[in-house]
Amino acid sequence: MKQLYVKLIIITMLTLRFASPCGAGERLYNGIVLPDEWPPDDLNPNCYAPMPVPYLENVPAVIPVDVGRQLFVDDFLIRETTLRRVFHKAKKFQGNPVLKPQTALEMNGGMMPVAAPFSDGVFYDFRDGLFKIWYLAGFFNETAYATSKDGIYWERPELDIVPGTNQVIDVGTSRRDGVSVWLDHEADRPEERFKMLLYSYPITHEEMFAGDEALFYAKQMDTSRRPPDDEQGGRLFTSADGIHWRQLSRIGLSGDNTTIFYNPFRKKWVLSIRSDEYRPYEIGPRTRDYYEFSDFVEGAEYLSRRTLYEGFKAKNKGRVFWVGSDILDLPDADVMRPAQLYKLDAVAYESIMLGLFTMHQGPPNPVCMEGGFPKITQLMLGYSRDGFHWHRPERTPFIGATKRKGDWDRAYIHSAGGCCLVVGDSLYFYYGGWSGKSPKLGGHIYAGGSTGLAILRRDGFASMNADDEPGFLTTRLITFCGKYLFVNVDCPDGQLRAEIQDAQGNAILPFTIENCRPVSLDRTVHRITWNGGRDLSSLSGKKVRLRFELEHGQLYSFWISPSESGASYGYVAAGGPGFEGPIDNVGRK
């Protein structure tokens, strides 16, 4: 049954992608129709208004909801409501940091000790039942690898890349910067199961530790001192085990902290490219360009023949301006420097793309270098239903810097590739945080990096709340092919009931409010039932609306499953215990 339903979902998604109306682009799994020109090249990098989100301005007349849990992070699904939307933040684990510099590789000679993701990646590999993390070991030093059975306690295996260490790749004489690692469950070839984008500089350890950042960057850009096979820039790799890596190609001109992620809704690999080309340095130049390709290996070969820089300079070459900071990205009150978009990692979670926006709030690098403390970056959230346009309703840190001297995560907060994992009723977010402590230097902008964990309720990004007064929420017209309605709800002191209506707003028997069995509990997976109604199979393929009535509680999501287990058949981000791939086909089991 599971395999049959997965095949049905895939066929449905492919049909919707290519069965588009005349004069329009592909139709997505959620009813959104993309424009003919994709990715769109119509955004103005010098405009500081919030990014427009076309699918919220022109919502599809009917929304298919067969893929994943349906979240209330925006009004895409909502026709009318009296409930109050509340956004929630992840809570830092009390046992943080879960990984800190200890080995010789991580201690970096006592100069800039680090054991933290600098994007890199954290995934759950169901084949051997392990959490796996790739991380920066010593700043600008090497990439290391550790595993865990529970996501809390981590072990560093001794590997054969550099005997006696847990290092996984050797970048030669260059120094690594940002890295992205991806566990690709959909890889056709075993040797490509793991993907990596690595950005490096042709620079020595001595030059890095000199403490003169202006000289450091000047030497980076001095083309006369680069080796014939230019070591600066991004390189793409594949691996069968995440330990032994094979280089495919270089990706041409791109900035440090360029990252990569996979959009499974459209079967596209996406480069999130740092670009400093658009905005004046005084107000913060960091922005993001977008580039997508379908096959990782073939795309890498194509990129090796034509640099992304050429794509940036010429129209219709595939690389377009994507996103930057805007007027809603407020400066830090203690620094008062314009915010910049430092980095953007993303992942498919249930029915949306989840984005972790690393926002840079200053001070400038030279100030931090001279003062011996880390710059302030903090993690914000964004949500996308087409994989390109981001809705960013909440502009306060989802995972923030403490900004307190002596704290392990004082500042310089970094996301991890894969973004989050589903662990039971919770989402695990791993992140890098910097203290600025250097055993030899006292303090340094890039010293003292460790790995932390922050935890959120599953689907817990936003809830629709009923406080003192009961309220309701009615969806737009939806269609489905499942049989059972499930919710993620917290209302032990209240109750939730649901009704199914036709396109005219009339209740459909027997699925009325009066027949609904009230729900009064706190559970991330719970089935809604009606007296006289066995399942929803009679409504399969029909245009209907859902109406929820809630008293004293929080509604986080709903979905309609083909299984009594509550499997959502949506994406589970970087995976988690119990899942046998990238999709939830197990539900509460």
Most confidently modeled range among 9-13, 169-173, 201-205, 391-395:
391-395
Number of H helices, E strands in the chain: 8, 36
Which residue is listed with tokens 């970094």?
A: 414
Q: pLDDT value at position 207?
A: 57
CATH number of the domain within which 484 lies: 2.60.120.260
pLDDT tens-digit map of 529-571: 999 999 999 999 999 999 999 999 999 999 999 999 999 999 9
- Model confidence, pTM: 0.92
Number of residues that this document lists for the chain? 589
Which residue is listed with tokens 């903090």?
A: 378
Q: Does any domain span residue 581? A: no
The torsion angles phi and psi of 381, rounded to 5 degrees, stand at: -110, 150
CATH number of the domain within which 194 lies: 2.115.10.20
Q: Does any domain span residue 520? A: yes
Q: Does any domain span residue 588? A: no
Segment 38-65 mean pLDDT: 96
Q: Does any domain span residue 538? A: yes
Q: Are residues 185 and 292 part of one domain?
A: yes
Of 417, 441, 457, the domain-final residue: 457
Helix (H, G, I), strand (E, B) or coil at 511: coil
Of 427, 457, 487, the domain-final residue: 457
Of 424, 457, 490, the domain-final residue: 457
Q: Are residues 255 and 358 part of one domain?
A: yes
Q: Does any domain span residue 270? A: yes
Check pLDDT > 70 for residue 22: no
Q: Are residues 316 and 359 part of one domain?
A: yes
Q: Are residues 530 and 500 part of one domain?
A: yes
Q: Does any domain span residue 578? A: no
CA distances from 204 to 171, 201, 216, 403, 573 (A): 12, 9, 10, 31, 37
Q: DSSP class of residue 555?
A: E
How sure is the predictor about 299, in pLDDT bands with cuts at 50, 70 and 90? confident
Q: pLDDT value at position 232?
A: 62
Q: Does any domain span residue 580? A: no
Contacts of 546 (CB under 8 A, 6+ apart): 474, 475, 478, 485, 498, 499, 500, 501, 558
Q: Are residues 192 and 334 part of one domain?
A: yes
Q: Are residues 237 and 195 part of one domain?
A: yes
Helix (H, G, I), strand (E, B) or coil at 329: coil
Q: pLDDT value at position 151?
A: 98
pLDDT tens-digit map of 55-107: 999 999 999 999 999 999 999 999 999 999 999 999 999 999 999 999 999 99
Q: Are residues 84 and 104 part of one domain?
A: no
Per-chain mean pLDDT for the chain: 89
- CB contact at 8 A, 454 and 117: no
> Structurally, how many domains does the chain consist of?
2
Which residue is listed with tokens 């796996």?
A: 132
pLDDT tens-digit map of 443-452: 999 999 999 9
pLDDT tens-digit map of 121-174: 999 999 999 999 999 999 988 999 999 999 999 999 999 999 999 999 887 767
Range of the domain at 546: 2-88+462-572
Q: Are residues 289 and 221 part of one domain?
A: yes
Higher pLDDT among residues 488 and 279, named by residue: 488
Pick the closest to residue 291 from 265, 305, 312, 276 (CA basis): 312
Q: Are residues 183 and 80 part of one domain?
A: no
Q: Are residues 268 and 176 part of one domain?
A: yes
Q: pLDDT value at position 231?
A: 53
Q: Are residues 185 and 295 part of one domain?
A: yes
Query: For residues 337 and 332, what is the distance between their CA atoms, to the nearest angstrom?
Result: 7
9-18, 191-200, 509-518 — which is least confidently predicted? Answer: 9-18
Q: Does any domain span residue 577? A: no
pLDDT tens-digit map of 317-350: 688 999 999 999 989 888 888 999 999 999 999 9
Element (H, E) at 207: helix 205-208
Q: Are residues 247 and 196 part of one domain?
A: yes
Pick the closest to residue 476 from 553, 545, 387 (CA basis): 545
Give the pairing of strands 154-155 and 245-250: unpaired
Check pLDDT > 60 for residue 237: yes
